[in-house]
């Protein structure tokens, strides 16, 4: 306090200095918070990249093996779809059903998921491939009428689209059923022109 300062002036001077210091400290705290948020965001991004790279590496390692096993799954599906009247064969069919369940369980445990859209599900060009289209009395246009062959995706990566029959334009509950199915020009192809989206054909 100088000799010519009053107590009030001295108080105001000290208060101004304290306010300046508080403002500076707040700015420093905010800068530290921003830095902490950036570090946390970078760490989260690094974690996601690592997880994605690990999934890609895993998918690449088992992709060819998984694709080769799809032929086995298809064979089992076709065999179990055939009608069986002979009682002597029914026990064999039960064994095949158990084998199929075990195979599907092994697929799922390794991230290989079956794509088998139910009747009426909207056509998805990234997972389905339209093999033909036909009018349907009970499925709206653009919906799946029948699955000709199920598809599969491996840890979110499509390795084979589901081959499906799609309801043609004009389909609906009041439309009489069509006698014959006609091959589609495939207006349901993905944007790149390939039905079912981008299917990785590399081993």
Determine if residue 123 is left, alpha or beta; phi over 0 gives left, psi from -120 to 50 gives alpha, anything else beta.
Answer: beta
Work out the angle at residue 66's Cα, subtended by the Cα atoms of residues 60 and 72, and round it to the nearest 5 degrees.
165
pLDDT confidence of residue 1: 53
Per-residue pLDDT tens over the stretch 144-182 = 999 999 999 988 889 999 999 999 987 665 445 444 445
In a domain, 193, yes or no: no
Residue 123: is its pLDDT beyond 70?
A: yes
For residues 94 and 157, state if they share a domain: no
CATH number at residue 169: 2.30.22.10
Which residues span the domain enclosing 46? 7-109
Read off the pLDDT of each residue in 184-202 and give the average, rounded to a whole number: 48
Based on the fold, state whether residues 88 and 127 are members of the same structural domain. no
Same domain? For 11 and 90 the reply is yes
CATH code at 51? Answer: 3.90.20
Q: How many residues does the chain have?
A: 203
State whether 17 and 76 are in the same domain: yes
* pLDDT of residue 200 exceeding 60: no
Do residue 11 and residue 60 come from a single domain?
Answer: yes
Q: How many domains does the chain have?
A: 2
Domain-embedded: residue 197:
no
Percent of the chain with pLDDT over 90: 42
Q: Is the pLDDT of residue 2 over 60?
A: no
Burial class (CB in 10 A: 0-12, 13-18, 19+), 110: middle
Average pLDDT over residues 120-138: 94
Is the pLDDT confidence value at 3 over 50?
yes
**Whole-prediction pTM:** 0.56
Domain shared by 72 and 27, yes or no: yes
Q: Are residues 102 and 14 in the same domain?
A: yes
């Amino acid at each position: 306090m100088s000799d010519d300062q009053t107590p009030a002036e001295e108080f105001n001077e000290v208060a101004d200095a304290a306010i300046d210091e508080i403002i500076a400290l707040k700015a420093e705290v905010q800068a530290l918070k921003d830095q902490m948020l950036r570090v946390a965001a970078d760490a989260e991004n690094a974690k996601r990249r690592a997880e994605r790279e690990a999934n890609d590496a895993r998918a690449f390692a088992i992709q060819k093996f998984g694709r080769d096993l799809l032929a086995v799954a298809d064979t089992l599906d076709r065999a179990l779809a055939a009608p069986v009247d002979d009682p002597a064969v029914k026990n064999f069919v039960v064994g095949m059903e158990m084998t199929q369940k075990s195979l599907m369980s092994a697929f799922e445990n390794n991230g290989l998921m079956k794509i088998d859209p139910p009747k009426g599900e909207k056509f998805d060009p990234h997972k389905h491939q339209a093999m033909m289209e036909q009018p349907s009395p009970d499925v709206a246009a653009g919906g799946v009428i029948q699955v000709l062959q199920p598809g599969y995706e491996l840890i979110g990566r499509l390795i084979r689209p589901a081959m499906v029959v799609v309801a043609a334009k004009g389909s609906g509950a009041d439309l009489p059923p069509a006698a014959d199915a006609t091959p589609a020009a495939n207006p349901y192809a993905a944007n790149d022109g390939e039905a079912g989206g981008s299917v990785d054909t590399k081993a």
